[in-house]
């Protein structure tokens, strides 16, 4: 590299090249050695200056693909979920610093009222017991094992699901659902049940309705789990309607639906 080259590159970065110098720079860039040096200095300038940033130029580099895969590794997906959880809790804590006192007495009063109501009306509790008795998580696992080849994230999804770590399981389940050709009803159901357990009932309903509307052979299972959702939520009438439909149309688990209907009467 000659001093002339150094001056040329410097002028470029200081945006003070005239037209002729610009042409000369383009000519010099045809020289591989000069061009490599020019690119390296460009990265140095953008990285070590305060204002700019040196973005990657080669999007097809082998390293890029290798690293991108790591962002989808099970530990990293769990970390993302943990960070999201912490972030949400931090937001709640932050808000609580300012607002908890005025609402504390009101919250205590509401709890007392709820305790009172539940003492007189145990239908919600009993429907929740029915939910627990009739929810067969093993049946879901069997469907997954039957249908999917060895996949670490499937194992992680199952393990977390069975350990009751529903929030952590959800990203794995979602990951499976987004994979082409692996959109299995079992994953819909695992997602729906996880959402029920997290008390996100409306989201869970949406998942089951999507399954019911699908062309899967197992689509009718959506009704069974929708019924269980209403039990968990304590909506006795809605639960009865769904289980009645299952019984009358002899859908999935219609015998168990009859048992539940008897218990609810």
Interface positions with other proteins (CB under 8 A): 1, 3, 6, 10, 13-14, 37, 40-41, 43-45, 47-61, 63-68, 70-71, 73, 75-76, 78-87, 89-90, 168
Residue 256 CB, nearest approach to other proteins (Å) = 37
d(CA 142, CA 129): 23
**Least distance from other proteins to the Cβ atom of residue 151, Å:** 19
104 vs 198, which CB is nearer to other proteins?
198
Smaller CB separation from other proteins, 46 or 137 = 46
Looking at the Cβ atoms of 47 and 121, the one nearer to other proteins is 47
In the complex, minimum distance from the CB of residue 158 to other proteins, in angstroms, rounded to a whole number: 18
Minimum Å gap between C-beta 136 and other proteins is: 29
- Find out whether 244 and 254 touch, Cβ atoms under 8 Å: no
- Helix (H) or strand (E) run with residue 229 in it: helix 221-233
Cβ nearer to other proteins, comparing 2 with 18: 2
Question: 59 or 115: whose CB is closer to other proteins?
Answer: 59
- Measured from the CB atom, is 59 or 106 closer to other proteins? 59
In whole angstroms, the minimum distance from the beta carbon of 100 to other proteins comes to: 18
In whole angstroms, how close is the CB of 18 to other proteins at the nearest point? 18
Q: By C-alpha distance, which of 253, 220, 259 is closest to 240?
A: 259
């Amino acid at each position: 590299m000659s001093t002339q080259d150094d001056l040329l590159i410097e002028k470029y970065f200081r945006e003070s090249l005239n037209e002729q110098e610009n042409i000369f720079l383009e000519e010099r860039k045809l020289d591989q050695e000069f061009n490599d040096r020019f690119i390296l200095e460009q990265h140095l300038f953008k990285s070590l200056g305060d204002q700019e940033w040196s973005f990657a130029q080669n999007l097809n580099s082998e390293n890029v693909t290798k690293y991108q895969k790591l962002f989808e590794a099970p530990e990293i997906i769990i970390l993302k979920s943990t960070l999201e959880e912490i972030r949400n809790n931090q937001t709640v804590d932050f808000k609580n610093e300012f607002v908890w006192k005025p609402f504390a007495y009101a919250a205590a009063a509401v709890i007392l009222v709820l305790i009172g109501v539940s003492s007189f009306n145990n239908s919600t509790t009993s429907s929740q017991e029915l939910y627990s008795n009739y929810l067969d998580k093993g049946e879901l696992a069997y469907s997954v094992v039957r249908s999917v080849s060895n996949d670490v994230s499937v194992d992680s999804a199952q393990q977390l699901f069975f350990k009751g770590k529903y929030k952590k399981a959800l990203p794995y389940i979602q990951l499976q659902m987004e994979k082409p050709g692996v959109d299995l009803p079992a994953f819909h159901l695992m997602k729906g049940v996880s959402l029920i357990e997290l008390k996100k009932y409306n989201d869970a309903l949406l998942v089951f309705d999507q399954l019911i509307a699908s062309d899967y052979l197992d689509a009718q299972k959506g009704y069974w789990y929708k019924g269980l959702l209403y039990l968990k939520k304590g909506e006795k009438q809605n639960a009865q309607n769904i289980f009645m439909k299952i019984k009358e149309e002899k859908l999935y688990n219609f015998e168990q639906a009859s048992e539940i209907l008897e218990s609810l009467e």
